[in-house]
A and B are shown apart, each in its own frame.
Chain A
Amino acid sequence: MGQVPLTQRSGASARPNADSEGHGDRLQTDLTAFEALFSSHGARMKSLALNLLGNVADAEDAVQEAFLRAYRNRDTFRQGSSLFTWVCRILINTCYDTGRKRRSRHDSASLEDDLVHDPPSPAGDHPLRLTLHRAIEELAPIYQQVFLLCEVEGYTHREVAAILEIPEGTSKARLFEARRQLRSALGRSQGMPS
């Protein structure tokens, strides 16, 4: 995944001694790492957020918030682990936080309104798209996350396992269960036996 690593931090206590040039260097290194991540994974991160939140504005806000949360908490980032999986995990949590806040405000926009203004899919359209979207929304989060990451965004089980911090086998099992539930839901919506 060719990432620029985040600068190693030795904790807040080291910071007051650092001169402004040191701060500038570190900032530039961190910005470069985040920019590289945004260039390589930004599109899929935005798409993931869109599928979790339902509209472009919220999706972009969530991506921005995820990067900012990651930057604020960069001291907790474990060197040697993947910056992408870490930020992606933060993005998923941010999306669920946003969804909770939106539900508590009772202003959840209707799916149809959102999807009318949806950006086009590179894979073209599909007659099951709207139905599938609704069915995915009904899934439990653990199945929803694996399905969106694997089937929609095309990540491997190894990557999904790293993002969600679960074993690969669990990722496969969850995808299997997600597909079963979705097939059943889509079959019901089309009046077919599942």
Chain B
Amino acid sequence: MIEDDDLTAAARTLHREWKSPELWPAIAEEIRRIEQGERRRSRLLAWRGLAAAAVLLLITGATLFLMREGSSRQPSAPTRTAAGSQRLLSDDALAEIERAESQYIAAIEALAQKSTGGTPPPTPLAAALHERLLVIDAAIADCRAEIEENRFNAHLRRQLLAMYQEKRRTLEQILEEARHAS
């Protein structure tokens, strides 16, 4: 039978001691190497973080800039479009039209002078035609006022031309009526 004391005494002999002067310096050296690696990694992580923040800042800045640019352009866009659509005539075309108009108007005024001549209308039809002529002149005056505000509007110019044609026809009818009456 093995006694407890024998077991304890035998167990004590299993404890071994020996010198290992190289062991701690080796451990310390490895620890310093680990620390250097960790420091490198942490520096790399910090740089990566900074780079990511810079990229994020750049993207955010660019997005904000583009958004602001877009919003500042948007309100002015319709104005420009409107101006573009309103400006239907070029400067040269406008000069040409105004020259033709003034000649046309001068011819009609001459016709008007000839047809009305300052004498009262001889017949009721002639009186009605004179009245119509006054309405047409009023409409022409309104249209010209609008054209003064937007001289490049071709649509208004076409309306004015139609009114002058109407005035010319009315003057011709007045002359015709005067000829019949005489």
Binding site for B on A (CB under 8 A): 12, 15-18, 20, 23, 27, 30-31, 34-35, 38, 42-44, 46-47, 50-51, 56, 60, 63-64, 67-68, 71-72, 118-129, 132-133, 136, 147-148, 151-154, 179, 182-183, 186-187, 190, 192-194
Contact = CB atoms under 8 A, between A and B. Distances in A.
B1 A132 contact: no
Contacts, number: 130
A40 B1 CA distance: 37
Interface string B15-28: 11110100110111
A47 B16 contact: yes
Nearest to A59: B16
A68 B13 contact: no
B42 interface: yes
Q: Chain B at the A interface: mostly helix, strand, loop or mixed?
A: helix
B4 interface: yes
Q: Chain A at the B interface: mostly helix, strand, loop or mixed?
A: helix
A16 B43 contact: yes
A128 B7 CA distance: 8
B77 interface: no
Contact of B38 (A15, A31, A132): A15
A72 B13 contact: no
A34 B35 CA distance: 14
